[in-house]
Structure formats: structure tokens, C-alpha cells
Structure 1
Amino acid sequence: MSRAFVNEDNQEEAPLIPPRAPLPNGAINYVTPFGLQQLKTEKAKLQEEMDSFPGDDDKAKRFSKQLIKGKLSLLDERIQSARLLSLSSEEKNEVRFGAIVTLKFEGENSSQTFQIVGVDEANVKEAKIAFTSPIARLLSGKKVGEQATLDLGNKTRKMSIIKISFD
């Protein structure tokens, strides 16, 4: 067909759906109870936003609805693949998924505390790191008093585990 017969006003560009937090191939999508609730709350908000659109008569509304549908699709996949881990069943004396870990880095007077969580719940500002992160993998299985060395390419940082809890 000749381009002369194409109505360009009817050609809408598909929205670019931002990807969710990466989960390595083959990795199980572990989530904390709080993380699973966050996913469900996000889904409810997106569904509410979708339902608030009165109709598909406007190009901008159609685009927005497509964007929300795409986000819902990715979110549904993540919720379906979620594997909830009960933090109460974990060994309390080892660093595991869900643990709140306090570390002291060699040569520093202060300590750092963070929780190991699922990839969707991870948030550096809230001191929550993904179980897939290098530091979480390095510390997994270690106990209070044990040390670990984090390789940062051109330098290393030694750390000691001061406290482990599962609050």
C-alpha cells in the first residue's frame, strides 16, 4: 500500500513500559510479607487508576490506559512468581533472607544496619537491600562475629557482623 493512503492520525505509538527491578535468570522471586503486601497495594492502586478513566475517546487516555495495562501485566507476573518466606521460620543466628544485619567496616567507628529483602522491596533510602546484591550474597550464612571481605574492584572492604535480627 502506498504511504499516500495511510492515515497517520490513527497510528499511535505504544507506550514504553518501565521494567521492574531485575531478577536474575533462574532466581526465585523471594518476598517478605511486607514486600508481598507492597506488591498487592501497588496493583490495587494501578487498578483503581485504570478504573478511573471514563472512556477510550481520547488519544492521551488510551495511551495512559495502555501504560497502566503494561505495568499491571508486569506486576501480575511478579506477584504470581512471588515466593513468600516466613521470617519466623528462618534460623535466627545466621544472615538469611529477611535478616536485619548490623555491620562495622574495618577502620570506621560507626556501624551500618540494613535488611535483606526481595528485589521489588529493595530501597537504599530505607536501608533495604535485595537478596541478589553482592553484599547480601557475601554475608548469607554468616554469624555474629564473623568477618567478610567485599571486593570493590580496585580495593576491598573488610566488615564484621555485629548483630542479626528478624524483627
Structure 2
Amino acid sequence: MNKAFVKENDQDDDDAPPGAPSLPPGTTNYMTRRGYEILRTELDQLVRDERPKLVETVRWAAGNGDRSENGDYIYGKKRLREIDRRIRFLIKRLENSTVVTPSEQENTEQVFFGATVTVCDVDGDTEQTYQIVGVDEANASEGRISWIAPLSRALLKAREGDVVRFASPAGLREIEVLEIRYV
């Protein structure tokens, strides 16, 4: 086969939705139990409910005659491809995931995956609390940051009282680790 048609990397993210977080090549997809259950629930809902209903709609629309001008058929087929792409993406993510239970962490003196960390700016008095979670469950507005984010990487292995420096979009920042919890 011609090399022009062969993918160079072994990370097949063709099924990833646009804007979906990607993992660095060769890394493990760590997830909390909560994140795993959310993806598992979405997969089950797509496979058991949404896809079968859509297949039935497409079957009905196909039986109505001319498919070239049949909006139900055209939209249904397009939506079916989107659902199938999402199902493949979820299956890959769940198969390649490693579930980590934060409450079972042995070394609770340091920041590791799943830790809930309260930090404070060194030059200010703003306290913020973050939980270090998997890529698929990160939501900064809710205080859940991905383990591959610059802040998380800087916090890993830090202890209470440590001052950590990291590059943020606003420039170099220094924060102090106030508290580490594993819930």
C-alpha cells in the first residue's frame, strides 16, 4: 500500500469529535470512577436508546420513496453517522482507560491524580480549589482540571506548604499549596 494512505501514528483519533481533548501519544488515559461512569452511561444511552430509535426513523423514511429529497432520511443518515462516530470514540476511550480511585491513594501527603488541592496565589489572597481528573472529565469552571494541564503538572508531587511555579496564559505564576485531600 502506498505510504500516502497509511497513518503515521498509532493513535487513531479519527472518531474524536472536534475540540475533544486528546491524550499525548503513548500515555495512559487515567479517569476517576465518576468520569468513567459518565462516559459509560453516555455510551449505553447511545447504543440502547438513541441509535435504535434513529434506525427506525431512517427505515421509515427510506420506505417513503425518493430518498434524494427526503429530509428525514438525509438528516437521519447524517445523525446516524455522528452517533456511530461518537460510539466508536467512547468505546476506544473506555477500553484504553485506567480507573483510579482517589480515596484509595496511599501517599496522601503529595499531590497525585485524583487529589483535590486548595492553592493560593503567593502575591495575592485568592484561594482556589481544583481536583486533578482525567482529560474527558475536566471542566475548569467546576474546578476539575485535566492531569495534563500545566497547573496539574506543576502541582504533581507537591506537598502542603510548597510553592509551585508554572506558566499560565497570563505569564509565570507562583502558588502555594494549602491543602491536599483525596475524596
TM-score by structure 1 length?
A: 0.85
Matched, 1:35 2:20: no
Q: For residues 65-107 of structure 1, what are the alpha-carbon distances to aligned partners after superposition, in whole Å with 9 as ceiling and x for unaligned? A: 1110011001100000010112233221110100000000122
| Residue of 139, 146, 154 corresponding to 2:162 | 146
Distance 1:27 1:61 in 2: 36
Distance 1:152 1:88 in 2: 29
Percent identity over paired residues = 28
Equivalence for 1:65:
80
CA contact (8 A) 1:143 1:161 kept: yes
Cα distance change of structure 1 residues 166 and 154 upon mapping to structure 2, 3 Å threshold: closer
Worse-superposed segment, 80-89 or 139-148: 80-89
SS at match of 2:137: coil
Letter in 1 for 2:24: P
Letter in 2 for 1:145: G
Worse-superposed segment, 71-80 or 101-110: 101-110
Equivalence for 2:65:
none
Aligned residues: 152
SS at match of 2:44: helix
4+ runs deviating over 4 angstroms: none
Equivalence for 1:24:
24
Question: What is the RMSD computed on CA atoms of the aligned residues?
Answer: 1.7
Equivalence for 1:106:
122
Q: CA deviation at 1:151?
A: 2.4
Letter in 2 for 1:124: A
After superposition, residues 127-142 of structure 1 pair within 5 angstroms as 127-142=143-158
CA contact (8 A) 1:17 1:71 kept: yes
Worse-superposed segment, 42-51 or 121-130: 42-51
Distance 2:163 2:143 in 1: 20
Q: For residues 33-58 of structure 1, what are the alpha-carbon distances to aligned partners after superposition, in whole Å with 9 as ceiling and x for unaligned? A: 10100110111222221111214321
Q: CA deviation at 1:109?
A: 1.3
Letter in 1 for 2:101: S
CA contact (8 A) 2:117 2:180 kept: yes
SS at match of 2:161: coil
SS at match of 1:23: coil
Distance 2:16 2:33 in 1: 26
Structure 2 regions of 5+ residues with no counterpart?
1-14, 63-72
Q: CA deviation at 1:153?
A: 7.2
Letter in 2 for 1:28: T
Cα distance change of structure 1 residues 100 and 107 upon mapping to structure 2, 3 Å threshold: same
CA contact (8 A) 2:161 2:176 kept: yes
Distance 1:158 1:101 in 2: 15
Equivalence for 1:51:
52
CA contact (8 A) 1:17 1:67 kept: no
TM-score by structure 2 length?
A: 0.78
Letter in 2 for 1:81: N
